Amino acid sequence: MLVACAGSSTDQGASTGVSTMASPVTSARPTASVQVAVPPPPLQTGAKPVRFDPCVSVGDDLVTRTGFDPATRERYTAESVSSVLTEIGCQFWRETLVDGEKYPTGLVSVTSSDLTLDDIRKNPGHSIFNSDPIGGRDTVLYRTPQSDNACSAAIKSSDGTFRVGLLVHPGPVAVPSACDQIRQVAETFSESLGTN
């Protein structure tokens, strides 16, 4: 699931100063350089918590390489912690300046989940269009028919899946479709997984 509206693009710079150190989550890349602090993920009470938190493990360098602004780092608006699904992570905005005004041209979410690739494959709401591995890991690229401007990549991880969701915004700036960009964006973000 990719949530498109997390507020206006003008309030993306607002971030909280809560340290991620309060989070019990560990990461495969504890040395990731992250300049915007975000609150810790929601408290998990399940028997097998999701340990990899992209909010602290996806460095600003990877965000910049994908064309998104690391200063817009914020908790994924659809984070979920329940007995059915745990999904934690962050999202980032891409904006372009046109005639002195900023226009959002994309939103990317990077999340870690206890869903398996089989859960993704068996979901009747997903239309899978590619299953080539990324970084030597099993991967599925998929779209949801009700979201024309969105595409996702689910990559196998030790928690279950590492998911990259991409939404492009139609507007005055022409950008390639989400499905045309998703593999390259997912390949870059998958570098954060290390040996996870």
pLDDT at 12 over 80: no
pLDDT tens per residue across span 23-44: 334 433 445 899 998 999 999 9
How far apart CA 122 and CA 120 sit, in angstroms, is 6
pLDDT at 93 over 50: yes
Q: What global pTM score does this model have?
A: 0.82
Give the chain's end-to-end CA distance (angstroms, integer).
23
Locate all alpha helices (DSSP H) within 32-169, ordered by sequence. Answer: 54-57, 60-65, 117-122
How far apart CA 171 and CA 169 sit, in angstroms, is 6
pLDDT tens per residue across span 146-162: 888 999 999 999 999 99
